[in-house]
Each structure stands twice: as C-alpha cells, then as structure tokens.
Amino acid sequence: MATTHDIVQKLWNLCNVLRDDGITYHQYVTELTYLLFLKMAKETGTENQLPDGYRWDDLENQEGVNQLSFYKIMLVHLGTEASGRVQAIYANASSSLTQPRNLNKLVQSIDELDWYSARQEGLGDLYEGLLEKNANEKKSGAGQYFTPRPLIDSMVELVKPKAGELVQDPAAGTGGFLVAADRHIKEQTDDLFDLPEAQQKFQRHQAFYGNELVPETHRLALMNLMLHGIEGPVQLGDTLAPSGASLPKADVILTNPPFGTKKGGGQPTRDDFTFPTSNKQLAFLQHIYRGLKPGGRAAVVLPDNVLFEDNVGQRIRADLMDKCNLHTVLRLPTGIFYAQGVKTNVLFFSRGATDKGNTKAVYVYDMRANMPNFGKRTPLTREHFREFEQAFGNDPMGGSSRTDTGEAGRFRCFTREMISKRGENLDISWLRDESEGNGEKLPEPEIIAAEILANLRTAMEEMEELSDMLDNGEVTE
C-alpha cells in the first residue's frame, strides 16, 4: 500500500500549513477530518448524505476570503441541519483556522492528492494512519485513545468475531477494535459478499456498537467507522453512568478501557454493579463480564492493579472467575502504549451458562520479562505475538489443547485453587528478568521517567487516602 503511505505522509506534512496558524496536533487532525470527510464522500459516491450545496465541490469552488467564511458556515450547517451520522460528526464542529490562505492551501492540497489508487478501504487505512501518527506525537495526548494496532490485530485474530455476532466496545476511543473486528469478518466473507443481503445490512448497521465518552474522540471514531463502511450505534456516552447499563448484551466484547485513576471525572455512578468501586478499570471489568450473553467471549486490556488489588478487587475477580471461564491472561510488555509507564495485561474470558465455578484453570503467558524495550526505536509488531498466538490455540473460547511450558517457559497453567490460595491474585510471574543495566538495553528516558512518575503518583495517592482515612475515620474500600 505504498500509495496510501505517501498520502499519509503528505497529509501529515500538511500540518505545517496549519501550524502557522498556531494549531495543535490534535486540533489539526480534527480540522483535516472535516475536510477529508467531504472529499471522501465525493470519492466514495456517498454525497447524498450531505445536504445540497454543502459538499466538497461547493467548498472547492469558493475563492479567497469567501472560502473560509463559507467553510465556517458549512460546519455549523452540517452540525445542525444534516441527517443522522453526518450531523453527529459535525456536531459542535468549529474551525480553528483564521487565515483564508491556509484553508486555500489545504483544500488545494487535498484536491490534488491522488485518490485514484486509494479506494474506500484505502481511505479508511489512511485515516487510521493519521490517527496513529497523531497518537505518536506525545504532546497531543491523543495517544491515550489509541491502542497499538498489532495488539488489536492479535486480540481479534484470537477471539475470531463472526458475521452475525454483536461486537461491543464500551470504551471505543477512535474505533480501532471495531474496525479491526469488521476487517476480520470481511476477510472471511469476501468483503461481506458471501453473506445474504439481510446479514450484510446487519453487519453494516448493527453488528458494531459501543460508547465513547469524549466528544472530540467520538467524532474521530465515527469518521473512522464510516470510512470503513460501519454505521452501527457508537454513542457519545459514559459506560460507567446509568445509561451504560442499557448497552445491549454482546456476543463479543473487545476493548481497552482508559488507564489512570484520575479523581477528576468522578465516581462511576452506575448503580447496577454488585461491587461498587471508584476504580474505573474494575468498574469496566464488571460491565464487561455482566454484559456478555451466555457463551459470549471477551478480550480486555487492563492494568496490573486490576489483577492484584485487594478487597473489592479480590471480590470482583472471584465473581469473574465464577461467572466466566477466565482461560488466559497475557502479560504485555512495557513501553507499548502511548500512555507510558503502564503495566498491562489482556484478559480473555467467556461467559458460562451457569453463574458458578466456570473457571477451572488460568493459563498465563508472560510476554513481559526479557522482551526488547519497545519504543520509537523498537516498534511493537505482529511478529512479537506469534508465539503467544500459537500457544493460545485456535479455539476462541480458550479450549484448545495447551501445554504448560514449565518455569523456564512463558506459558504456565494455574488452577483455580492455586489462585484462591493467593487471595485471587492474578498478577503472576515466574521468569527472572535478565535485562541488565547496560545503557544500550535501557528503555528510553521518557519511558523510565513516566514509570517513576507513575510510581510517585501511586505512592502519593495511597498516602492521601491514608490521610483521609486517618482524619475522617471512615473505612473506604
């Protein structure tokens, strides 16, 4: 896909145009999004969803100062008068541009780009490429909404979503998981052509759904999905608020809930959780395993503390292992996320027919110890997951025959009893990390600094809680 790459690079360089206007990376990917969408609608022949007079050619035909004023009017109009999806995308859209010549340059550049070789799928890849580049730029902070592609692809490959299944992402971000699941199904069904008409419609309009909390990100998610021919209901909403309970039960859940335990954003306000907690990841975990249909399956990226946190964490894990078969835990390497310093895992589980004793044993794969230091110089790739994928096996429910590799290997089996004895602690490791302190093998400074910061923050938070508890004399979980 060399052509797509060239376009991505060119589009990325277009940011210099906007930088003159004093626009941040995040602002300009949004700006580019508004324009690209119009151009893409023309290229894909879907302009009828845009009101007459507010389409690419209408913008392109304007000149000089008029173009910028028309553009601004256009954004407002599309955000209020257009229908359904388009309106959702342009809702509250406003331009950060102030110089007419910048808009001129942008529109011209976009018009000049060689769209011929980049058809609908290609355009979608281009968009995802843009999002990834945006995530790579530390300063934008957009990285927190982007899960690395190789990880998503691996999870989808193992969970194997099928046509006809309801696939949910309750923390959709920019839509990466849903797009990947859709891609997987399209590969299996010759781009949906193998499916009868009604099923194709289902795939397009219902199969993929979820929530995203942040309006700016939601916009990008909608665009991303649309460019891949997905029009399922991804709402602007908070899964941890009461409305989250109304998300329909799923056959498959693939997600990476946001990291961090920021106190701002408040407590989850949902009241249907059995175990109320202020820990957002624990709250998401509850939503997920309760939101699966019997026989449904999930793969979720969660930080270490979900695996070992005591008290309510312990109870939630016990409940999870009762109601679901938690068959696999993958310990992910550090340095792969744009939110640096986080230690994460993927939990693979399926909902049982009954509510008790569904987990008999958990296989843990350690992909964290003795791995290269991932970062800009060593990017994570799909290859890094091959060994794990082989060990996982072909059964998306985790039922493939597996071998415990013993203490020297990366894949080991732990029975439910063993885990019970540890207080339901799933933070299990056995490999000694041999990466010694040679300057060349050290992670990059930013990564270490972020980890130090994360540790300091944890310590501070715990001490603050401690202070509170001392002062108020109340027992918090």
Binding mask 304-333 for other proteins (x = CB under 8 A): ------x-----------------------
Q: Which listed range, 48-56, 67-75, 284-292, 439-447, lies at the site for other proteins (CB under 8 A)?
A: 439-447
The DSSP 8-state label assigned to residue 424 in this structure reads S
**Of 45 and 437, CB closest to other proteins:** 437
**Of 413 and 456, CB closest to other proteins:** 456
Name the minimum Å distance from CB 415 to other proteins: 24
Return the half-sphere exposure (C-beta side, CA atoms, 13 A cut-off) of residue 18: 21
| 84 is an interface residue for other proteins by CB under 8 A | no
Nearest to 35 by CA among 82, 88, 83, 97: 97
Name the minimum Å distance from CB 453 to other proteins: 8
Could you tell me which residues come within 8 angstroms of residue 29 by beta carbon, excluding any fewer than 6 positions away? 130, 131, 134, 140, 142, 220
| 353 is an interface residue for other proteins by CB under 8 A | no
CB environment 367-387: b (16+ within 10 A), e (fewer): bbeebebbbeeeebeeebbee
How crowded is residue 239: how many other Cβ atoms within 10 Å of its Cβ? 28
Name the minimum Å distance from CB 365 to other proteins: 23
| 475 is an interface residue for other proteins by CB under 8 A | yes
Binding mask 256-295 for other proteins (x = CB under 8 A): ----------------------------------------
| 413 is an interface residue for other proteins by CB under 8 A | no
| 6 is an interface residue for other proteins by CB under 8 A | no
| 474 is an interface residue for other proteins by CB under 8 A | no
Q: Give the bridge partners for 169, in sequence order.
A: 210
Using the rule CB under 8 A, which residue among 139, 356, 439, 474 binds other proteins?
Answer: 439
**Of 394 and 455, CB closest to other proteins:** 455
**Of 390 and 467, CB closest to other proteins:** 467
CB 239 within 8 A of CB 170: yes
361-366 and 411-415 strand pairing: antiparallel
Q: What are phi and psi of 180, to 5 degrees?
A: -65, -40
| 455 is an interface residue for other proteins by CB under 8 A | yes
Distance CA 238, CA 219 (A): 15
Return the half-sphere exposure (C-beta side, CA atoms, 13 A cut-off) of residue 362: 34
Name the minimum Å distance from CB 433 to other proteins: 12
Burial of 42 (0-12, 13-18, 19+ CB in 10 A): middle
* Number of chain positions touching other proteins (CB under 8 A): 27
Helix H, strand E, coil C: the string for 221-287 is HHHHHHHCCCCCCEEECCCCCHHHHHCCCEEEEEECCCCCCCCCCCCCCCCCCCCCCCCHHHHHHHH
| 98 is an interface residue for other proteins by CB under 8 A | no
> Please, where are the H alpha helices in 120-263?
120-136, 149-159, 176-188, 197-205, 215-227
**Of 104 and 305, CB closest to other proteins:** 305
∠ CA 194-197-199, nearest 5°, is 75
CB environment 431-458: b (16+ within 10 A), e (fewer): eeeeeeeeeeeebbeebbebbeebeeee
Q: Which listed range, 224-232, 313-321, 346-354, 443-451, lies at the site for other proteins (CB under 8 A)?
A: 443-451
Q: What are phi and psi of 346, to 5 degrees?
A: -115, 130
Q: Which listed range, 101-109, 234-242, 330-338, 440-448, lies at the site for other proteins (CB under 8 A)?
A: 440-448
| 448 is an interface residue for other proteins by CB under 8 A | yes
| 465 is an interface residue for other proteins by CB under 8 A | yes
Name the minimum Å distance from CB 143 to other proteins: 18
The rounded radius of gyration (Å) of the Cα atoms in the chain is 23
Using the rule CB under 8 A, which residue among 197, 354, 445, 472 binds other proteins?
Answer: 445
Tell which phi-psi region holds residue 89, choosing left (phi > 0), alpha (psi between -120 and 50) or beta. alpha
Using the rule CB under 8 A, which residue among 73, 413, 418, 449 binds other proteins?
Answer: 449
Name the minimum Å distance from CB 460 to other proteins: 7
Name the minimum Å distance from CB 347 to other proteins: 22
**Of 389 and 427, CB closest to other proteins:** 427
Name the minimum Å distance from CB 418 to other proteins: 20
Binding site for other proteins (CB under 8 A): 310, 437, 439-440, 442-445, 448-449, 451-453, 455-456, 458-460, 462-463, 465-467, 469-470, 473, 475
